Amino acid sequence: MTPESSSKPIVTRFAPSPTGFMHIGGVRTALFAYLLARKNKGTFILRIEDTDKEREVAGSVKHIQDSLSWLGIEWDFGPDKPGPFGSCIQSERLSIYKKYALELVAKGLAYPDPYTAEELAAFRAEADMAKRPFLYRNHRPSDELMKAPWDGTKPLRLKTPTIARSHWHDVVRGDLQAGEEAQDDFIIMKSDGYPTYNFAHIIDDHEMGVTHILRGEEFISSTPKYLSLYEALGLMPPIFATLPPILRDDKTKKLGKRDGAKDILEYKAEGYLPEAMLNILALIGWNPGTEQEVFTMTELKSVFDVAKVQKSGGVFNEEKLGWFNREHIAKMSDQELLIRLESFLDSAQKSLVDERTLPLIKEKIVTLGDAPKLFDGEGELSFVKALSDYPASQLLWKKNPDKEITKKHIAEIHSQLNSISTDLFTAEGIKNAVWPYVEANGKGDVLWPFRVAVTGKEKSPDPFVSSYILGKDESLKRLSVALEKLNTPSQ
């Protein structure tokens, strides 16, 4: 039976700790959990795991929500939407953890840790000296001490119910196992009244009806401990799916902050589309088994299959992200692109973006943030704003730098453009009108001066597109300027 065919409605969760900004690793986990839920008409929960108050960074919860919202990953229950099980913020669920902790105490399966930090350090040092792993359960206090009442001032530890080899199944990694040394009497409640991650997530997953846990490989080594806790609580563990790591370009290491695993919202600020980000992340460690590479969220929701998640890591790099960005920009309507560009352009630039410039913008940009650069300095569309003061010599085609012939061509183009009616003054209309003359007189001979005359640039879009963008009046004006320049004797 595949996990997706199990009869229970699928419930997945993304459970970040609010310890800083969201990076692509976290978002990929959220996306896969979300897609698994949506594919199966299940529920997706955003749970905030804020039980480690020392590591908490202010603003992280909002950042997590903003990042997921940007990508269209919508939670059914989350920090702003409590569920039938109560709050989705762990610090607001303390009484629930306490209730479970007390049940374990009552069953003799949890006990207050009587040791001081110094005593524990000494046990650790002893194990190090003997070159064996430190196991707390080798130092269990006497039965008497174990039965001491728990007043919350001491950490509470699980008394591992069965110490034996652990075996479990992972949808991605297959059958896994670990020796007895992977189990220990770990802390479930801290002396500050908060549960540990190890304890709280298990209680919450149970209370929230989570059927599938998708998370990174850093949790595999602790799974035997989690299994002891499920056993102590008399719970069936959910289905585990360990996602493969996201690798650096050279595939040798996991992508770390120093390799550019940056704040996900920085990509937004740079003008990457959420569609592109989703697309690249969906394909890191998963593929549908077809040739298709470009996916929309709607498509992903219908084709995602957790059984096809791979074991080996996948590479993330910005070049690939740029490729996806261009693909999604190309699919976008002009109207939609215009809306997306809004926040990247100032008002002067906005006035230059219309149905005439949009196709070119679409073709040239990698990110939305590239669009304003097209209008500035040497940008491909900088000619639209104003005609630069280029030297007359620039009008002469290098292979035939004859001033008189160049003047003749420009004058002829001027007159031909002048006779095109305004409604036919499109790139195609202009090309159709002048093409016979171009063919008869040589492409370079005519098109070079034509293009330099309308754009004033060595490099620019072709003269038909450029004239169309400028409009008839401005194009004629610029052709006249070119003629004047050629008629002015050089000093």
Which residues are at the interface with ligand GLU (CB under 6 A)? Answer: 15-17, 49, 197, 201, 215
* Beta carbon nearer to ligand GLU, 216 or 429: 216
Q: In this complex, which beta carbon is closest to ligand GLU, that of residue 48 or of residue 374?
A: 48
Catalytic residue (choose from 257, 308, 311, 443): 257
Contact between 21 and 265 (Cβ < 8 Å): yes
- Nearest distance in Å: CB 215, ligand GLU: 4
For residue 388, what are the CA distances in angstroms to 356, 377, 398, 487? 21, 10, 20, 18
CB of 169 to ligand GLU, least distance (A): 17
CB of 88 to ligand GLU, least distance (A): 13
- Cα torsion for 198, 204, 207, 210, to the nearest 10°? -100
What phi and psi, each to the nearest 5 degrees, are found at residue 241? -135, 110
Smallest distance from ligand GLU to CB 125, Å? 29
Of 60 and 357, CB closest to ligand GLU: 60
Closest CA to 154 of 168, 163, 141: 141
Residue 4 CB coordination number (10 Å): 17
Contact between 224 and 166 under an 8 Å Cβ cutoff? The reply is: yes
Shortest distance (Å) from residue 134 CB to ligand GLU? 23
User: Which among 260, 272, 324, 246 is positioned nearest to 70, based on CA atoms?
Assistant: 272
Please give the sequence-ordered ranges of beta strands (E in DSSP) within 193-303, or none if there are none. 212-215, 239-242, 246-247
Q: 3-state SS of 241-253?
A: EECCCEECCCCCC
Task: Provide the 8-state DSSP code for 490.
Answer: P
Q: How far apart are CA 92 and CA 194, in angstroms?
A: 10
Nearer to ligand GLU, 15 or 45 (CB): 15
Is the Cβ of residue 15 or residue 227 nearer to ligand GLU in the bound state? 15
Greatest distance between any 2 Cα atoms in the chain: 110
193 DSSP 8-state letter: S
Q: Which residues contact 223 (CB under 8 A, 6 or more apart)?
A: 166, 168, 176, 178, 240
Cβ of residue 52: shortest distance to ligand GLU, in angstroms?
9
Considering beta carbons, is residue 123 or 197 the nearer one to ligand GLU? 197
Q: Based on CB atoms, which residue is closest to ligand GLU, 223 or 367?
A: 223
Segment 73-78 long-range contacts (CB within 8 Å, at least 24 positions apart): 73/14, 73/27, 73/30, 73/31, 73/34, 73/44, 74/34, 74/44, 75/14, 75/44, 75/45, 75/46, 76/37, 76/43, 76/44, 76/45, 77/43, 77/45, 77/46, 77/208, 78/45, 78/46, 78/47
CA dist 194 and 118 (Å) reads 22
Minimum CB separation from ligand GLU for residue 376, in Å? 42
Catalytic, 99? Answer no
> Shortest distance, CB of residue 360 to ligand GLU, whole angstroms?
44
Which segments within 82-193 are labelled E, that is strand?
110-112, 156-158, 166-170, 174-178, 187-189
- In the complex with ligand GLU, the residue whose CB is nearer, 223 or 455, is 223
Residues acting as catalytic residues? 257
